Amino acid sequence: MSGARIAAALVYAGVIFFLSPARAVACSCMHESPGRAFRSADVVFTGTALAISPPLTEGSGEFSYRIRRVRFAIDEAWKAIRDASEISLRTGGGGGDCGFDFKEREKYVVYAHRLPGGT
């Protein structure tokens, strides 16, 4: 194949790639400093993971996603928790959704964000 044909094929492939419609749902997990994570979080605490649900599916059709619910014993509340000894949170089920793979009986510092609607 001549150089001109290769160049034409590459240009054609590039045009097709950039003009093709595509659907994607993705997450880019950011690693923040502890200070920035504290400021941006709605709830911050140290705690022990007591129970973790199996993956659950929420949403429907192509917009369905997997979550897990995690129940924590609160060891020390740092932000927005008052008079609670336990809290339940949800995290992504994995696969690019920025979920965290909590392990039962392990201790964590948790920086949590409320969903729209306050949950």
Q: Rounded to 5, what percent of the chain is helix, strand, coil? A: 25, 35, 45
What are the structural domain ranges in the chain? 27-112
CA distance 56 to 78: 29
> Could you tell me which CATH number the domain at 27-112 has?
2.40.50.120
Average pLDDT, the chain: 77
Distances in whole angstroms, Cα of residue 50 to Cα of each of 33, 44, 106 = 26, 17, 8
pLDDT digits (tens, 9 = 90+) for 10-62: 444 433 444 444 444 444 566 788 899 999 999 999 999 999 998 888 788 88
pLDDT surpassing 50 at residue 84:
yes
- As a whole number, mean pLDDT of residues 88-97 equals 79
> How confident is the model at residue 28, as a pLDDT?
53
Q: Any idea which of 28-37, 66-75, 103-112 has the lowest mean pLDDT? A: 28-37
